[in-house]
Amino acid sequence: MRNGHSPTDGRALGVIPLLLALLARERLEARLLTHLFVQFPLLLAAGALLAGPRLPARLVPWNRGGAAGLALAAVILAFWMLPRVVDASVGDGRWAFAKFVALPVAGAALAWSLPLAPWLARQFLALQTMAMAGATGWLYLALPERLCLRYLRSEQDELGAALVIAAVASFFFWLGQVLRAPAGEPTILRPGRPFPAEASA
Amino acid sequence: MSPSGRGRTALATAVVLLAGAGAFLAETEGLRAFTSETARRLAVARSPRPLPTVVLRDDRGERLTFPIPGRPMLVEFVYTSCPTLCVTLGATFTRIQDRLAEAGAPPVLQLLSVSFDPARDDAPALRAYAEAHGADPTRWRVVLPESEADLRTLLEAFGIVVIPDGEGGFVHNAALHLVDRGGRLAAILDPDEIERAVEGLGG
């Protein structure tokens, strides 16, 4: 739908997930699972869409290989996974505002950086994210403690199970993609050259 | 890839990671507080928190102003129809009451069970809770804040978050709150830290 239009047309779509996350705020935040599995992704998607796929030219020298942007996204996401920060974003308006800024920024950073990242770095990030999600989910299930004051212990179990399922499912999806790659193309299981994306550098 | 590009990217990445690590360390108080409850306890341990003055009413309709100047007290938050946590808290208060009596502490009001459930906890409900736990009214009162505003003020000041449990009851952060002579929240203890609680009360 972008054909013949200026690139800003696609970006404007980012307003939709942002408004959804904002208008359905109370409903989404009423449950831990929808808070983290629906509102968070909506805000990331909003940021990614609003930013557009292309890194602005003056930022290019600051984000070679997407390193700075991926670091920024990782730092923001790690911070917003802290139980006390999740709690605060429900009870405190300032923290809620911070969430509606920080997560779209992380989404924008991902959109501007992932396509620039070397192939090997992308595989590493994918596996790392799955491992973290799986381990965190398992931790939520195993800990007897209620981690969020704003949410029930049973909701923590729900989120834990969802994280484990998402981690396992995305691992098999990833594995399927890697195994199904055309014979000539290098995969992590069949490396063609040691560092394909860096080979031309 | 130009050397200057690499240099600037390395700089930007380093700044992002350092700022991120700083924010993470600050927000977790040096990797100690990942949850709101731990953060609440650390904050109080670091600097005792002054408490607002509120009016409470006990099961006999007697009004009392909290905090009482010069009187160390122990405060727990409950709702009397609670089947689980508040029973534990009540049992803890019973043991602390006994310990204070054994230690020869002066027979004055030092234990407060504050209900946050005005809809159900009328005077008879408060009395039933007090009687079920053997509360001696000279040392221990079961009370309800006089107004909704007093209740909100109190919960806010102590950092208590009450949420519905979906089955008609509530879930809340349960702890023993030690209030010092100056009327400040001085320590937040686990229900099993009876010795520290008795010590804090001067018993």
**pLDDT tens across A81-116, in order?**
999 999 999 989 999 999 999 999 999 999 999 999
| CB pair distance less than 8 Å for B24 and A75 | yes
pLDDT for residue A191 is more than 70: no
Q: What are phi and psi of B95, to 5 degrees?
A: -65, -40
User: Do A99 and A43 meet the contact criterion of CB atoms below 8 Å apart?
Assistant: yes
3-state secondary structure of B186: strand
- pLDDT tier for residue B2 given thresholds of 50, 70 and 90: low
Q: Which residues of B touch A (CB under 8 A)?
A: 1-2, 4-6, 8-13, 16-17, 19-21, 23-24, 27-28, 33-39, 161, 163, 165-166, 171, 173
Q: What is the pLDDT of residue A2?
A: 42
Q: Which residues pair with B112 in a beta bridge?
A: B75, B141
Q: Is A181 left (phi over 0), alpha (psi -120 to 50) or beta?
A: beta
pLDDT for residue A183 is more than 70: no
Cα of B82 to nearest chain A Cα, Å: 15
Cα of B111 to nearest chain A Cα, Å: 25
Q: What is the pLDDT of residue A189?
A: 60
User: Do B145 and B154 meet the contact criterion of CB atoms below 8 Å apart?
Assistant: yes
Please give the interface size between A and B, counted as residue pairs whose CB atoms are below 8 Å apart: 90
d(CA A69, CA A54): 13
Chain A nearest-CA residue for B161: A149
Q: What is the pLDDT of residue B3?
A: 53
| CB pair distance less than 8 Å for B5 and A153 | no
How open is the CA angle B53-B56-B61, to the nearest 5 degrees? 150
For residues A28-52, average pLDDT:
97
Cα of A129 to nearest chain B Cα, Å: 17
| CB pair distance less than 8 Å for A145 and B35 | yes
A-chain CB neighbours of B163 within 8 Å are: 149-152
For residues A61-70, average pLDDT:
95
Q: What number is the ipTM of this complex? A: 0.85
**pLDDT tens across B75-87, in order?**
999 999 987 777 7
| CB pair distance less than 8 Å for B8 and A147 | no
pLDDT for residue A79 is more than 50: yes
